[in-house]
Structure 1
Amino acid sequence: MRNKIAIYILLLLMLLPASAAAEPESVSELLKLYNISGYDPEEEGRKLYLLEEEYRDIAHRVNTNTMLEAAMELYDERRKAILTRIDSDTYELSNRLEDLEHQMKASKEDTVEAIMQLDGEYRSVLRQLKKNQDEREQLLVPKEGVVSTLSLEDAKRERNRLESLSPKLEKQKQTYEQALSCPAIGEISTFRSPLEIPVQMTSPYGERLDPITLDSITFHHGMDLYAPEGTTVLSAFNGVVEEASSTDELGNYVVVNHGCGVKTLYGHLESYHVEVGQEVFQYASIARSGNTGSRTTGPHLHFGVYINGKSVDPGRFVPY
């Protein structure tokens, strides 16, 4: 009696209009159940924002350092040119000063006026030499506004940081775009059943005694659910049918791709009524349960969940 009531409640819930149904949840919410991160649009957007802020900050400093380096190079070129001119003038003035000293020693017999003229020129050359010496010393003192602001080692470190950050930023952009593309697949936290009847698990996910040979421990990559032959099998979430075929072990089976690496498998079916490429919605009828395939000991539904090609425990969201 209780089973019949549960079936009626489940059917009533399935018949509720879309407006009364829970808000569809993203694939990212399912991935969180398996501690798989990287698909939450809000979280990945926040990470992207922080990386972009860091990149802009470093890029600004690198550009500033680049301009300072350019200004420093121009300053050094100008300083070298001025030093060359000063040194050349100083050389000529020193030679002129030496000539004047010889002339002054030899001018004892000259008139006072001639001696005074030589002395005046001598003093003028000395003043010019002193001026050149002062100017040269000033040019050799580091410019406060350029050298103190820019450290070549710091500039090199900033450029290296920018280069290492660039691929990280690109990768995060791709992750964020992937997160945005993760679709809403339906109810996850309030998931009901991949069958038209309430879930009754007959064999859990993980290691178990092989039900066929009964002589070894094998790994069960899914969950077996009680299902009399002909029970309607429902798509666990919104998605697209990726496979609808048959194998020796699984018998008739269907695989639905829900996006972002998440797929569900329905095995040992009596029959399926979907085709590859067909879009299906959560709880839409896709097959009838059965007892096909060599790896079965009785009618049931083998329900598997795969993330990025690896099986995971459906029990994380299937109520049993």
Structure 2
Amino acid sequence: MRAQNRRRVVAGVAVLSAMLVSAPIALAQSVDPSAAPVPTDATSPAATPSTVAGAAPAPGAGSPDGGATVPGAPELPPGAEVPTTIADPFATNAEPLSSGAYGGQPAFDSVPRGVDGALVRTAQQRRQAAQNAVQAAQADLEASVERMAELDARIASTGAEREADLLAAADAKTKMRERAVEAYVRGDQSFTVWALIDNPVDYSRASRYLESLAGQDRNLAETYLRSVRRLSSQERALVDERTKLTDALASVTARFETAQVELANASFCERAFAAGSHTCADGFRFPVLGEVNFIDSFGFPRQVGNPNQHWHEGSDVMAPSGREVVAVERGTITRVGDDSGLGGLRMWLEGESGNRYYYAHFSSYAAGIGVGTIVEAGTVLGGVGNTGAPGSAPHLHFEVYPAGSDRPMNPYPLLKT
């Protein structure tokens, strides 16, 4: 078994070395190796200079409009990956991790890595569609703002007193419509009353509707009715026009904001795939807050010479003990481990994207975090530590399993994006 595992490690290291020489990754920032401690234990990165400092930027950072096409994306034929099934070394039947827990780990060269041209092309198409949506929503927003300005100019031409009544009536009517929607969502039958007040056949009879309302609703209705009684039919038409335009402006503003978020996510994922990631989740957050150090240690040999020897399946993010570790995307905590085995305090997060994330070596867990907990992106899960790896520097061991896959991918391209 030892000889077989040693051959796997040696083969993996050879392939990794060839990959790094032939396709070096340009790092964003060099860091003085003395700036942060480097682990020396068997489960942490080898004592090599640490590079790349700082948490990953928010989605879309560095490319505000997402318009730049990512250069250098190779044209790879679809299905170029080698289909391989990797036995999960942290499966339930392996807890706590024991001697030989990595015995089923495949050869390193069977794990997909490098840039997948198909993923890049799909991401580019998504980013272009998002950019088109932003431009269309922006044009509609500008047109709505212009129409509102023109309408307000017409209202102002009626004179100060009439303008005040027109704007008060329009504002009250807009709020009444919002309250009607809220009532409908709650299942409150008062929304039928709002429908009557919104367009009463005879304003002189509207007072009977007020008996069905109270508090804020009654005040809005009284303001509206008091204002429209002093208006002519033409002026009431201006009130209706402004109310509808206000609704349209709110709708197109929401569409523009949604399109901006989609563009930020699409741009981030395009850059991640171009960097060599094999998955990307919308709204992805870097797993550790604040300044950090990490290198591309995926595939590095670990614990060579003993039954647990294996190649490294993730990235080690170096940070001070206790530094906040957060959820990288919205999802559910599916497993939480105690301080036993090689991972120490550890947990699994299954994201809404379908990706699974493994966090190890916590110093402690955050209050309220446990199996079944639903967390938002950025929710604090615990603190950086070295449980399970005594004697090593504090760090987060982080693994990524793409949706539908039981084999790990290199997290480094995603983390450095």
TM-score, normalised to structure 2, is 0.32
Q: Which protein has greater RCO, CA pairs closer than 8 Å, 6+ apart?
A: 2
Comparing both structures, which one devotes a greater share of its residues to strand? Answer: 1
TM-score, normalised to structure 1, is 0.40
